[in-house]
Amino acid sequence: MKRVGVFLCTCGGQMSQAIDFGEVRTTLLDEPGVVEVLEHNSLCLPEGLEFLKERAGAEFDRVVVAACSNSVNEQTIKQTLGGGGISSSCVEVVNLREECANVHGDRAQATAKAIGILRGAVARVGRANPVQTQKIKVAKAALVVGGGVAGTQCAIDIGNAGHKVYLVEREPSIGGVMAQLDKTFPTMDCSICILGPKLSEAGRNKNITIIPNAVVKSVQGRMGDFRVQVEVKPTYVDPVKCNGCGACIDVCPVYQPNKYDVDLKPIKAIYSPFAQAVPLKYVINKDICVECGMCMKACGLSAINLNDVPKTVELNVGAIVAATGAVPFDARKKPQYRYGEIDDVITNMEFERVICASGPTGGLMLRKNGEHAKTVAFIQCVGSREEDGSGIEECSFYCCAASMKEARLIVEHDPEAKVYIFYTDLRAFGKGWEGLYTRCREDGIIFIRSKPSEIKLNAETIRPIVVYEDTLSGRKAELEVDSAVLAVGIHPDEDTKELARVLRIPVDRTGFLEEAHQKMRPLESNVDGIFLAGTCHGPRDIVESVVEGTGAASLAVSILSKDELEPPVVVAKVNTDKCTGCMKCEAACLYGAIAPENGKASVNEGMCKGCGACASACYQAAITLQDWSRNQLLRQVSALVREP
Amino acid sequence: MSEPKIVAFMCWCSVSGADQAGVEKISYPAGVMPVRIPCSALLGPELVIKAFERGADGVIVSACKPSDMRRIAPSRLTEVRLEILRSLLKEVGIEGERLQMAWISSQEGAKFAEEVSNAAERIAALGPLGFREAMSSV
């Protein structure tokens, strides 16, 4: 027989005034299992909790506490009693103040209701089935997926906190989009000059293992103990032997466009994408390599192995940070701007490479025919703030400031140049952005409020013509320029969507990874132990990406700094003897926490939110939500409505 | 007649709504007996039937408004399930109105009191249920 103790909090006399606790006590003592009904005038105060712990620990194995709002005290009471050796499953806290005493003026009615509620609680707790949860031993390492500025910052911060980090990057070098930029707004810092030191810091940090040319293939397990498979593509150069001397590129006869330079500049078939690459290890593009063997002869370290094969690396980590970034919108999807048809219509990413001293033109703003571009137009919101479905609906966050920065770069290089910015709404909300706007005005940059309808080609001059309506004056006009730069929005790429599938985390309508809660848990995914940083979960700038890298690192460290984790108690459990594998539960689970395993339903406890939708969907009654079993609830309901 | 006995299944957010009614001391009929559940989606038909069988005159299921939830709205699932259950209850002579659904979110104390009061009034108008008599008439 269970020994149930009932504790009534009189709340300084408030509750006992509204409810006849004497009658409650007498009636409850007749309930099977109830051995004592005790009163205290303030169970929430330290002496009240001490009273609870002392009496309950010594006399009872099940406890019902009648007090105030569960949101105020339930966890405190359960923790206190846990310290006295009573499992949280065996403690039921009911709210007699807000749900009864405060809302019913008639003392007899309130007393009858209180008796019903407490009978229900006694019945429920009598059927409780406490589980011995096995603590999760924390794997003392983190996985960061994506080595852009967010992921790199995150890896550095976790590494500096003293934990091992695996930084997985699909490209040969970390650095991401920021490495491709010329300058950063609003401070006009040279991008690679401020990023480069961070990349090399990540490279030399003893706790960080960078795994380049690699993608995450599968993830199993849960917070504290994820098992991850990473597939490393063959690079045909042994990264252990290669010291980055570059003897191989001198002799390689094959050229390819460099993705880093948005295909505007050639690079050899054996290459490293840029001078500041980390790790500085060469790779071979086997698709175009003619296998002449020249590099093998030139390499004094015998690092080249043309028979390299894909490798799988197995990792055991306690926390995962997704920082896979986003990609620019494909401007071809806005055919009215004739990107790809008119030579001098370029994207802002191409512009960044053109204006950069290490880029294809050595930093000169040139047209495709080699002439200096003297008039340049920027077109904002290409593929963002699109209501017609051609791009994303969201504002892409970075592009107003980026175009203002780029406009100033043109004027800095050539004070005679004329620059126009065609904007929908100019958004300068960040720190120092307003000053950037003011300086643009001082520099003579012209802002025109318009989303141009099309770009035409002047066949004689071979220059683009921007066709627009100034929405402030209503004037329709055309403007012929040397070069038109499309400020394209950013959106998640296929690799991010694939990662979401592998991690079993949801994506939003646009395809960006989704936060557990946009405001209150902005860096957490719906799965415990998987965090988000940077543009993989929505457009943002460098500042925010860095902030989020650090933020996600602190969340990861809060897991890694523990040796063991308490697994969540209220999760769905499958009785495999009863389960027929019909998978109705999988369809009912809105969190994707249930999947078939060996023909039976299996719950991923790291993803289960404890709602119980699966339990009520199961025809076989094979699923039980811990602490909320059918048996408990049926008995609670029966006791609740029983006549006196 | 005496006040009807009503079992109110309340999801986590609705419990906060009921809390708010308590904080503001907004009164509602004392026959409303609360049962806390983590999410309305946990509610299986057997719990509703058990409530009627053991003497409840009505059942209220209080859940989050789907528009208040982000992307995932389990209470939509509940709504559909209750609609099916209502049609089954009618088959055994229990009026559909005895099973009410209310959309209550955390801040809605006054709305909680109002909705359960209205539901209680509608259920009271139907008179006492008496489940066993209802079953014997099938």
CATH number, domain of B89, equals 3.40.50
CB–CB contact A633 B37 (8 Å): yes
The answer, for B96 touching chain A at a CB cutoff of 8 Å, is no
Residue A107 C-alpha, separation from nearest chain B C-alpha, in angstroms: 10
Mean of all residue pLDDT scores within chain A: 95
Rounded (10°) CA dihedral A416, A422, A427, A433 = -10
Instruction: Please give the CATH topology (third level) of the domain spanning A235-307.
Output: Alpha-Beta Plaits (3.30.70)
Q: Which residues of A touch B51 (CB under 8 A)?
A: 637, 641
Q: At what angle do helices B74-91 and B45-53 cross, to 10 degrees?
A: 40
**pLDDT digits over B95-126, tens only?**
999 999 999 988 899 999 999 999 999 999 99
Q: Is A314 or B74 the better-scoring residue by pLDDT?
A: A314
Task: Give the best-scoring range by mean pLDDT among A9-13, A311-315, A591-595, B104-108.
Answer: A311-315
The residue of chain A nearest to residue B45, with distances taken between CA atoms, is A616
- Alpha carbons within 13 angstroms on the beta-carbon side of residue A10 total 13
Report residue A644's pLDDT band, with 50, 70 and 90 as the boundaries.
Answer: low
Q: Are A294 and A251 in contact (CB under 8 A)?
A: yes
Joined together, the tokens standing for residue A628 give 């909320």
User: Which candidate in B13, B19, B78, B106 is best for mutational testing of the A interface (most A CBs within 10 A)?
Assistant: B19
pLDDT digits (tens, 9 = 90+) for A122-140: 999 999 988 877 899 999 9
List of E strands, B75-123: 99-103
CB proximity B55 to A under 8 Å:
yes
CA distances, A261 to each of A153, A182, A365, A478 (Å) = 23, 11, 15, 31
The reported pLDDT for the residue numbered A364 is 94
* Encoded tokens for A547: 């902030």
Contact check, Cβ <8 Å, A591/B16: no
Q: Is B54 on the interface with A (CB under 8 A)?
A: yes
Q: Is A427 left (phi over 0), alpha (psi -120 to 50) or beta?
A: beta
Q: Would B36 be classed as within a structural domain? A: yes
B80: in domain = yes
Token pair for residue A433?
């952005």
Question: With 80 as the cut, is the pLDDT of residue A605 above it?
Answer: yes
B100 part of a folded domain: yes
Cα distance between residue B102 and residue B79, in whole Å: 10
In which domain, by residue range, is B11 found? 6-136
Q: How far is CA A291 from CA A213, A244, A296, B75, in A?
A: 21, 20, 10, 62
* Span A488-520, pLDDT tens digits: 999 998 999 999 999 988 888 889 999 988 899
The stretch A452-456 carries a mean pLDDT of 97
For position B71, what pLDDT does the model report? 59
Task: Name the burial class of residue A409, with classes exposed (0-12), middle (13-18) and buried (19+) by CB atoms within 10 angstroms of its CB.
Answer: buried
pLDDT of residue A9: 96
The enclosing H or E element of A174 equals none
Q: What is the structure's pLDDT at A84?
A: 83
Q: Once rounded to an integer, what is the mean pLDDT over residues A211-216? A: 98
User: What pLDDT score does A134 carry?
Assistant: 84
Check residue B2 and give its pLDDT: 65
Q: Which of B21, B36, B42 sits opposite A616 (nearest CB)?
A: B42
User: What is the architecture of the domain spanning A329-491?
Assistant: 3-Layer(bba) Sandwich (3.50)
Asked whether the beta carbons of residue B30 and residue A641 sit closer than 8 angstroms, the reply is no
Mean pLDDT score of chain B: 89
Does A229 have pLDDT greater than 90? yes
User: How many domains does the structure of chain B reveal?
Assistant: 1
The domain locations on chain A are 4-131, 134-233+310-326+492-565, 235-307, 329-491, 572-625
- The per-residue pLDDT for B70 is 59
CA-based nearest distance A516→chain B, Å? 10
For the stretch A369-385, pLDDT in tens is 999 999 999 999 999 99
List pLDDT tens digits, range A547-588.
999 999 999 999 999 999 988 889 999 999 999 999 999 998
Q: What percentage of residues in chain A have a pLDDT greater than 70?
A: 100
Q: Are strands B99-103 and A446-449 parallel, antiparallel or unpaired?
A: unpaired
**In Å, how far is A543's CA from the nearest CA of chain B?**
27
Check pLDDT > 60 for residue A477.
yes
Is residue B138 scored above 60 in pLDDT?
A: no
**Tokens 């505007």 -> residue:** A264
Q: In Å, how far from its chain's centre is CA A11?
A: 44
> Is residue A638 within 8 Å of residue B55, measured between CB atoms?
no
CA-wise closest residue to B41 among B2, B12, B6:
B12
Q: Using CB atoms and an 8 Å cut-off, which of residues 349-378 of chain A contact chain B?
A: none
pLDDT computed for residue B133 by the predictor: 67
User: Is residue A446 over pLDDT 80?
Assistant: yes
pLDDT grade for A176, boundaries at 50, 70 and 90: very high
| Residue A306 near residue A229, CB atoms below 8 Å | no
Tell me the pLDDT tens digit for each residue of A238-289: 999 999 999 999 999 999 999 999 999 999 999 999 999 999 999 999 999 9
Q: Can you give the pLDDT at residue B68?
A: 67
Q: Which residues pair with A95 in a beta bridge?
A: A67
CB of A537 less than 8 A from some CB of B: no
CATH number of A4-131: 3.40.50
- Give every CB contact of residue A601 below 8 A, 6+ residues apart in sequence: A574, A579, A581, A583, A585, A586, A594, A595, A614, A622, A623
Peptide bond into A522 cis (omega under 30): no
Assess if residue B104 is contained within a domain: yes
| CB-based contact, B8 to chain A, within 8 Å | no
CA gap A533, A145 in Å, rounded? 10
**Whether domain A572-625 has CATH 3.40.50.720:** no
Confidence of residue B137 (pLDDT cuts 50, 70, 90): low
Interface test with A, best of B11, B27, B33, B78 (most A CBs within 10 A): B33
Q: What is the pLDDT of residue B28?
A: 96
- Closest to A191 in 3D by CA, of A15, A365, A31, A349: A349
Q: A137 at the B interface (CB within 8 A)?
A: no
CATH class of A134-233+310-326+492-565: alpha beta
For residue A281, give the amino acid letter. K
Beta strands in A96-140 (DSSP E): 136-137
Question: What is the separation of C-alpha A115 from the centre of its chain, rounded to a whole number of angstroms?
Answer: 47
| Per-residue confidence band for A468, with pLDDT thresholds at 50, 70 and 90 | very high
| Distances in whole angstroms, Cα of residue A589 to Cα of each of A295, A296, A326, A514, A612 | 55, 55, 29, 17, 8
Query: Among partner residues A570, A611, A628, which is closest to B74 by beta-carbon distance?
Result: A611
Q: Would the pTM count as exceeding 0.90?
A: no
- Residue B73's pLDDT is 72
Q: Residue A378 is encoded by which pair of tokens?
A: 């920027």
Count CB-CB contacts under 10 A for residue A369: 9
Q: Examine residue B1 and state whether it is found in any structural domain, yes or no.
A: no
Question: Contact B56/A98, CB-based, under 8 Å?
Answer: no
Distance, CA of A172 to CA of A161 (rounded, Å) = 26
Give the model's confidence band at B1: pLDDT under 50 very low, under 70 low, under 90 confident, else very high.
very low
Kindly report which listed range (A53-57, A164-168, A208-212) carries the lowest average pLDDT score: A53-57
A113 in contact with B at a CB cutoff of 8 Å? Answer: yes
Which residue did the predictor score with more confidence, A163 or A72?
A163
Question: Tens digit of pLDDT for each residue in A517-542?
Answer: 889 999 999 899 999 999 999 999 99
Contact assignment for A641 to B26 by CB distance below 8 Å:
no
Chain A CB within 8 Å of residue B110 CB: no
| DSSP summary character for residue A110 | H
Fill in the DSSP letter of residue A100: I
Torsion of CA A642, A643, A644, B3, to 10 degrees: 120
Side-chain half-sphere of A144: how many Cα atoms within 13 Å?
A: 39
| Torsion region of A589: left, alpha or beta (phi above 0 gives left; psi -120 to 50 gives alpha) | beta
Handedness of CA B117, B122, B126, B129 (dihedral sign): negative
Is-same-fold flag (A134-233+310-326+492-565; A329-491)? yes
- Residues of chain A found within 8 Å of residue B50, distances taken between Cβ atoms: 634, 637-638
